[in-house]
């Protein structure tokens, strides 16, 4: 197993890839409404990525057939876009990767469609908060387990949510998945040491109910074992001395979310709340 460290120049290229993902997610956000199919959202994302001189990282990755992973309600991650229409009360995770200038960007955001229950709004808020609590630990000299612990404390210990064990965050760079793995559960002070030049994708996958999941018969979609909804947020973070450098941004996505009357706006404005 090998960690690939990035130069300052390479990190700036990665920032371009990550920000293109953020802009793609913002465009998708502006098109979400009851009745839209998840396949239509995938096409919009694909066209936007190609128009910006990039390619979709996920398409063809281990045979994955789409640009986005779009995971609705009990689908946690890796959902197939399709003829399914979004409806009032759904939560929908959109996960996008792009490859540009030799580097991948990879980010995800979960949206609340129309009138969504308080319980689901809290799940989204807390999952997003946990991402930033993990990011707060993503500093040179800390360990991967510090990130994992912070996410688990905020979601499982504080709110009793299920932290998915079967999937984890990851290093990111010339490959979509690099070392180290970044679990969303673990012990402080354990795991690989974080060092300047590492870039990691931190992506809590948090279930309203049980942490247990299974793979759908489509061979990709990961669903909660109890059928309850799940949330997923993902940022790309470069490790530096003293402070984390978040390469992706939720700012354009949150702006699109606020501007779209079809998205639940009961929570927002959590950009870098801990920094």
Residue 103 touches which member of Co ion, ligand MF3, none, C-beta under 5-8 Å by kind: none
Site string (149-188) toward ligand MF3, x via CB under 6 A: ---------------------x------------------
Residue 156 touches which member of ligand MF3, Co ion, none, C-beta under 5-8 Å by kind: none
Are 234 and 196 spatial neighbours (Cβ–Cβ below 8 Å)?
Answer: no
Ranges within 92-121 binding ligand MF3 (CB under 6 A):
95, 97, 106
| Phi and psi at residue 49, to the nearest 5° | -65, -45
Shorter beta-carbon distance to ligand MF3: residue 19 or 201: 201
Binding test (CB under 6 A) with ligand MF3, winner from 64, 159, 267, 268: 64
Shorter beta-carbon distance to Co ion: residue 248 or 262: 248
Which residue spans within 101-242 are E strands per DSSP? 103-112, 162-163, 169-171, 178-182, 199-202, 205-207, 213-215, 222-224, 230-232, 235-238
CA dist list (Å): 150 to 87, 99, 125, 201, 226 = 33, 30, 15, 15, 25
Residue environment code for 118-149, b if the CB has 16+ CB neighbours within 10 A, otherwise e: eebbbbbbbbbbbbbbbbbbbbbebbbbbbbb
State the burial class of residue 218 (Cβ atoms within 10 Å of its Cβ: 0-12, 13-18, 19+). exposed
Binding test (CB under 6 A) with ligand MF3, winner from 1, 2, 62, 115: 62
Q: Does 267 bind ligand MF3 (CB under 6 A)?
A: no
Residue 62 touches which member of Co ion, ligand MF3, none, C-beta under 5-8 Å by kind: ligand MF3
| Phi and psi at residue 180, to the nearest 5° | -90, 165
Stretch that binds ligand MF3, among 61-69, 118-126, 188-196, 243-251 (CB under 6 A): 61-69
- Number of chain positions touching ligand MF3 (CB under 6 A): 11
d(CA 195, CA 185) in angstroms, rounded, equals 20
Q: Which residue has the tokens 């990767």?
A: 97
Site of interaction with Co ion (CB under 5 A): 106, 201
Residue 10 touches which member of ligand MF3, Co ion, none, C-beta under 5-8 Å by kind: none
- Which residues of this protein are in contact with ligand MF3, per CB under 6 A? 58, 61-62, 64, 69, 78, 95, 97, 106, 170, 201
């Amino acid at each position: 197993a090998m960690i690939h460290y990035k130069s300052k120049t390479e990190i700036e290229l990665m920032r371009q890839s990550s920000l293109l993902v953020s802009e793609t997610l913002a465009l998708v956000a502006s098109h979400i409404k009851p009745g839209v199919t998840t396949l239509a959202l995938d096409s919009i994302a694909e066209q936007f990525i190609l128009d910006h001189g990039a390619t979709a990282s996920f398409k063809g990755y281990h045979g994955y057939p789409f640009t986005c992973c779009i995971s609705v309600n009990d689908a946690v991650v890796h959902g197939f876009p399709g003829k399914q229409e979004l409806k009032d009360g759904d939560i929908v995770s959109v996960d996008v990767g792009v490859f540009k200038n030799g580097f991948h960007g990879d980010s995800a955001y979960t949206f609340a469609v129309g009138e969504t229950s308080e319980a689901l709004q809290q799940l989204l808020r807390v999952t997003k908060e946990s991402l930033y609590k993990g990011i707060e630990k993503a500093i040179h000299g800390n360990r991967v387990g510090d990130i994992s612990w912070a996410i688990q404390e905020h979601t499982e210990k504080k709110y009793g949510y299920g932290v998915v064990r079967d999937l984890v965050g990851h290093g990111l760079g010339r490959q979509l998945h690099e070392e180290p793995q970044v679990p969303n559960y673990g012990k402080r002070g354990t795991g690989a040491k974080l060092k300047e030049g590492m870039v990691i994708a931190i992506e809590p996958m948090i279930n309203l109910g049980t942490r247990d999941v299974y793979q759908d018969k489509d061979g990709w979609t990961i669903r909660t074992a109890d059928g309850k909804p799940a949330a997923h947020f993902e940022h790309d973070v470069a490790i530096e001395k003293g402070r984390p450098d978040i390469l992706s941004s939720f700012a354009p996505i949150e702006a699109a979310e606020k501007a779209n009357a079809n998205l639940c706006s009961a929570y927002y404005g959590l950009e870098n709340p801990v920094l």
